Amino acid sequence: MLAAVILSGGASSRMGSPKALLPYQGRPFLEHLLEVTAHRQIGVRRVVLGAHAEPIAKAVDLKADEIVINREWEKGQLSSVQAALRSLPSGTDGMLLCLIDHPLISNALVQELIEQFYKTKSPIVLPLYEGRRGHPVIFSASLYDELLHAPLETGARAVVWAHKAEVDEVRTNEEGCVLNLNDPETINKTIQQNN
């Protein structure tokens, strides 16, 4: 069983409002990501909240045990990854890590990554779009300890670099996996193209 972890702990300062609640195809980014990460191999779900925890938790239907509050969100993305890891029950095979500012992914891509992970048993599985690595990324449980001790400055990338020979890249034609939607201009342009 895998854990689906969605990181939504940042301040969204460039956006001016929580990215998790921005609309995509008529519903918030977070709801879209929750839907596309629903899979029979996903047994645990965690949404890491920080700066805007209250409005997001009120707006999106989440169970209490699915919410992780990262009180150290200002330390950056890795602090949210670590908060999620510390909340997981024992026995997960790995973690499907999704970023709230990379919401334009499909259920089909998630399924492909999960199938590849179980087929190859690679410690890291990620999508590759036109030579660029994207999100979501699956980290095997064997890497949890490394993620918990990675340097905050480089974050999870440090773990990817340490295992560069073992990274399994899944080629995809979904540009959404590399689209980082973190300012109003990019979001408006991208959403108009995808709606």
Is the distance from CB of 80 to CB of 40 less than 8 angstroms?
no
CATH C-level class of 2-194: alpha beta
The residue among 128, 125, 126 whose CA lies nearest residue 142 is: 125
Domains of the chain, by residue range, sit at 2-194
Angstrom distance (rounded) from CA 88 to CA 84 = 7
pLDDT at 119: 98
The structure's pTM equals 0.92
Q: What is the dihedral of CA 179, 185, 189, 190, to 10 degrees?
A: 20
Task: Report residue 93 as tokens.
Answer: 């095979």
Which tens digits make up the pLDDT trace of 44-62?
999 999 988 899 998 898 9
Closest CA relative to residue 177, chosen from 62, 84, 60, 99: 99
Q: Cβ of 45: how many Cβ atoms within 10 Å? A: 19
How does 164-186 read in b/e, with b if 16+ C-beta sit within 10 Å? Answer: eeebbbbebebebbbbebbeeee
pLDDT in tens, 87-138: 999 999 999 999 998 889 999 999 999 999 999 999 999 999 999 999 999 9
- Residue 181 banded pLDDT, cuts 50, 70, 90: confident
